[in-house]
Amino acid sequence: MGEIKNCFLPDDLSYHIEYNVWLRNTGDGTFDLGMTDIAQSMAGAMLHCRAKKVGKSVKTGKSLATVESGKWVGPVKSPFACEIVAVNEEVAGDATILNKSPYKQGWIVKVKLAEGADTTSLVTGDTAIAGFTAYMAEHELDECIHCEGFDG
């Protein structure tokens, strides 16, 4: 488990630094995608998470979902061209799951790569740690904040 200032970054995931999202290759041609511990800490207590519909094609850099917290509203952007094949209805019903379980229960959408999609912007391991260290410095984030029940 990678860690930067109390922010957890599981080793088995890929990340997109700028969009602050993680991806898990499920091995069947799809990826689960969610917000990082860093993203949930920056947003604070989540109020709503609304994903686009299953079957929707999303271009690189476009919104897969929209998240609202008490102090922030913003998109969950796609690192590559894809199609949404599943939406986590649990998160849609209770957005605080994104705070409590960003890497386990808190996947937001499952996506399938579009033909010819470019995944070179994804990083892993030490490259991800270095990227997020710079990201946190740029956004002046001191450390991650974990609510009661956080499951890492």
Judged by the rule CB under 8 A, the positions of this chain that interact with other proteins are: 59, 62-63, 66, 73-75
CB of 50 to other proteins, least distance (A): 8
CB of 32 to other proteins, least distance (A): 22
Place of tokens 């091995």: 27
Name the residue nearer to other proteins (CB basis): 63 or 133: 63
Task: Pick the closest to residue 96 from 135, 65, 69, 125 (CA basis).
Answer: 69
Name the residue nearer to other proteins (CB basis): 5 or 72: 72
Tokens of 50: 């609304």
Helix (H) or strand (E) holding 138: helix 125-138
CB of 132 to other proteins, least distance (A): 22
Name the residue nearer to other proteins (CB basis): 24 or 62: 62
Name the residue nearer to other proteins (CB basis): 103 or 135: 135
Phi-psi region of 28 (alpha: psi -120 to 50; beta: other; left: phi over 0): alpha
CB of 75 to other proteins, least distance (A): 5
Task: Pick the closest to residue 84 from 30, 20, 35, 23 (CA basis).
Answer: 30
